[in-house]
A and B are shown apart, each in its own frame.
Chain A
């Protein structure tokens, strides 16, 4: 059956519209690099995209390694050139940072920031106007003095505050003999008394580089998926922790269907690629990236790898003369040409000077074709940078309904590309909202029906490599001038369907009708 699928998918690739990006780093005014010594900051280097200023445009936070992180305020105009300015004294300019994820922890409607570091992690409370204060101590959050590399958040049933998970890497004190010294993943659950209870160690830790709370089975409770770096673990593998409210997490077993997979796990991207309403997962690695889709029914966490069948292995540089394989870090699905199909951006770059792997390793932009296969288009799209990338984002920075692209690079300048695709498809920007607690409806599923297809999107915080985003949810619609939209809220309650005209921003209140929002900015 699998062979038949592969044959079918590879036999008839269909044409798809190639996106067009223009270099916009200089235009945006962004100058930033992820720095630090070769070993101590060999992983991390993420970017977080979220609105810190209150104008609904995504601002950008970039990890700096041994230098300070920088927060860039977005002042772009709708459909215009990109324009950013560094925010001085933001309180988010921490050094030793590997990454950050935006999340509204206290439910006050102002996005907070979880900053991961080579050193104690910090929870920064958003104060508005791109100002933050360190709320770690006030929240009872013990950030440990570890090498932290992965983050995710979920609202467990009945909780108004999120449960946080932080994946950590090598015991950095074991620098002469680090193999086998992987440290734990830490689970922070809200305390009934407020703030966070002492964290729970999820052991064994296998050097996590990306983690994600995701409801892979649509059972109503997200589990914790952990992608681990096999370079350093002993006896390790990819992990899936079953989460049940109030209970200690436990690992799914082989008997339950979880197959042992050992890769250089570095990043997780998720989208429903197969169209079955269930999340699929792209796992970045070195030469063996995976696209995991559920192999059977959702009663068992048994996944198969569809990367080869769908042309999404991205295992070797697609430019230059090298035959050496690639090193993949951040990955993110997004519809870059608004044709209604999720495309895939992969940030690539050598760890440092590993001769087994390509030193000139261009980023990927894999465009999904109507038949579900992917084709590499980054050269034609203008985004095939060979800088040593780590983190990245696909996010609409100038409120034109097109996903722009950001890459944070190791020892080199970050890059921004503005999406200037001519005659793209239609689109919607959606923002599901709840009144309290989990305001951004993390854990919800958004369904968008247009033409003859339905796109299902899980809302999560986590994954990627070193960063993620929070804000408007972008949906391409192709030629459809309207779409039916509904939200299945985090507690499983399905909202009503609403028909929305294309090419607009819509807030989707849980207990109300969609509200049109003005273009951000």
Chain B
């Protein structure tokens, strides 16, 4: 069986081979872009810092770097994005005489360690190997002066973008994002820890909603109405939502279980939810042999959408601070209840995956259209089947409802999460694609 891992290993080996014929510049740029991104997806999976909001942020900054590097070298799609974001920086002046591939590689070989440097010895080793291997390919055939000029431009772009990233509130993540001190909620509907992992006795990243977004004015943009009022009354709307989660869990079909696990996207066990959408874009880029500039643009805009989506989502999570289904159901419906998925260690409403999937679907639809059939092989190496979708919106809806099947969200969090994501996506489109 040809798995994703085998494809990647083969690609890494191919990067080592001498080039017998000079490939087109765009092929070279695509090889560089894809090579770095495939590595980054692994770094996200294998570096504990990268909980979904943190991963989304890193994808945004890296995508912006890639896109701006190509723009600076005169090979970008749609022009610079930075000036249309909240980025407090002025990028280096374009130099259309620079080799785009070498510029892109120089930017990414600096930006990847900058944004993913928390990884362990294996990741560090892989980054060095990737820089060497892709660097050889990126500069093959260039005279030394041209290579140096491109490298200088690429590094300047990466340096500028990285400097801007340091002030967004998400640059430093301590203790994997779990605060050392946390005050339990004073009301009965508040979030309480759901796991027996010591670190997770406090909720993840409680201040993430105050970070500086790329496009939104603040995390309060795209705010949501409150969830159904908390109640233990069996006649209440809240109880009905919990009962639905419980009943669905008792009658899950095999297909629903697959859907739940397919979109589970657990940190440290997958590329995370934003990495799932990045994988979709990379696979579409491969399938359709898209130009590197178009892929880079899509990765930048997607990264910004999911990053802003998580900021808005986290803002509402800590505004409403709602308990998880497992807490409520065990207390009021079924003491022995066990959800299918691992319950994430932070408040329930709204669903983060739903918000960021809604945002991703909105911007990808704007970029690629609707309908847009694609296959999603994100978890092929983990033994989960490839799933096919007719549109990005269909995939986002499935990602959202998967949280109900998994027993980790109530329906309101799912529906409102999708709505919030769509709001974020439209804001991104208005600023970056208008």
Contact = CB atoms under 8 A, between A and B. Distances in A.
A12 to B, nearest CB: 20
B125 A287 contact: no
Contacts of B129: 175-176
B43 to A, nearest CB: 9
B198 A316 contact: yes
A287 B176 contact: yes
A323 B121 contact: no
B196 interface: yes
A39 B122 CA distance: 6
A356 B48 contact: yes
A309 B42 CA distance: 34
Max chain B C-beta neighbours (<10 A), residue from A176, A313, A315, A353: A176
Max chain A C-beta neighbours (<10 A), residue from B121, B122, B124: B122
Nearest to A358: B175
A179 B199 CA distance: 26
A356 B121 CA distance: 12
A308 interface: yes
Contacts of B118: 354-356
A374 B335 CA distance: 27
B174 interface: yes
Contacts of A308: 196-198
B198 A315 contact: yes
B5 interface: yes
Given A234-B5, A287-B176, A176 B121 contact: no
Given A305-B196, A355-B117, A286 B48 contact: yes
Interface string A216-236: 000000000000001110110
Interface residues of B, number: 39
A180 B381 contact: yes
A307 interface: yes
B180 interface: yes
B117 A179 contact: no
Interface in A301-351: 305, 307-309, 313-316, 323-325, 351
B5 A181 contact: yes
Interface string B332-364: 000100000000000000000000000000000
B9 interface: yes
Contact of B125 (A39, A305, A324, A357): A39
B269 A178 contact: no
Interface string B91-129: 000000000000000000000000001111110111001
B125 A177 contact: no
Contacts of B47: 356
Contact of A235 (B42, B133, B198, B383): B383
B164 interface: no
B176 A325 contact: yes
B60 to A, nearest CB: 20
A420 B197 CA distance: 34
B375 interface: no
B8 interface: yes
Contacts of B180: 323
A176 B49 CA distance: 21
Nearest to B129: A176
B120 A354 contact: yes
Given A315-B198, A356-B118, A231 B125 contact: no
A313 to B, nearest CB: 3
A352 interface: yes
A309 B176 contact: no
A231 B120 CA distance: 10
A323 B202 CA distance: 13
Given A174-B9, A313-B198, A235 B46 contact: no
B382 interface: yes
B12 interface: yes
Interface residues of A, number: 39
Contacts of B409: none
B199 A177 contact: no
Contact of B199 (A42, A316, A355): A316
Contact of A179 (B46, B175, B196, B384): B46
Nearest to B268: A230
Interface string A354-386: 111100000000000000000000000000000
A397 B323 CA distance: 52
Interface string A142-181: 0000000000000000000000000000000011111111
Given A309-B196, A316-B198, A356-B176, A179 B120 contact: no
B30 interface: no
B11 to A, nearest CB: 9
A360 B372 CA distance: 51
B391 to A, nearest CB: 28
Nearest to B269: A262
A276 interface: no
B45 interface: yes
A325 B12 contact: no
Contacts of A315: 197-199
Nearest to A308: B196
Nearest to B45: A179
A397 B199 CA distance: 36
A144 B25 CA distance: 44
Contact of A178 (B119, B122, B130, B174): B122
B49 to A, nearest CB: 5
A264 to B, nearest CB: 8
Given A177-B8, A287-B198, A230 B48 contact: no
A38 interface: yes
Contacts of B117: 355
Contacts of A231: 46, 120, 122
Contact of A288 (B122, B174, B199, B335): B199
A231 B269 CA distance: 8
A301 B124 CA distance: 38
A38 B198 contact: no
A287 B125 CA distance: 23
Contacts of B133: 176
Interface in B171-226: 174-176, 180, 196-199
A357 B199 CA distance: 12
Nearest to A304: B196
A353 B122 CA distance: 11
Contact of A42 (B9, B121, B130, B382): B121
Interface in B237-272: 268-269
Contact of A351 (B3, B120, B198, B335): B120
A176 to B, nearest CB: 4
Max chain B C-beta neighbours (<10 A), residue from A175, A177, A355: A177
29 contacts: A38-B121, A38-B124, A38-B125, A42-B121, A174-B9, A175-B126, A176-B129, A178-B126, A179-B46, A179-B122, A231-B46, A234-B382, A235-B381, A287-B176, A288-B197, A288-B198, A308-B198, A313-B197, A314-B198, A315-B199, A323-B180, A324-B176, A353-B121, A354-B119, A354-B121, A355-B117, A356-B48, A356-B118, A356-B176
Given A231-B46, A288-B198, A309-B196, 9 more contacts: A39-B125, A234-B5, A262-B269, A287-B197, A314-B198, A325-B199, A352-B120, A353-B121, A356-B176
For the complex of A and B, 9 pairs with smallest distance between CB atoms: A313-B198, A315-B198, A308-B196, A176-B129, A235-B382, A235-B383, A180-B5, A323-B175, A234-B381
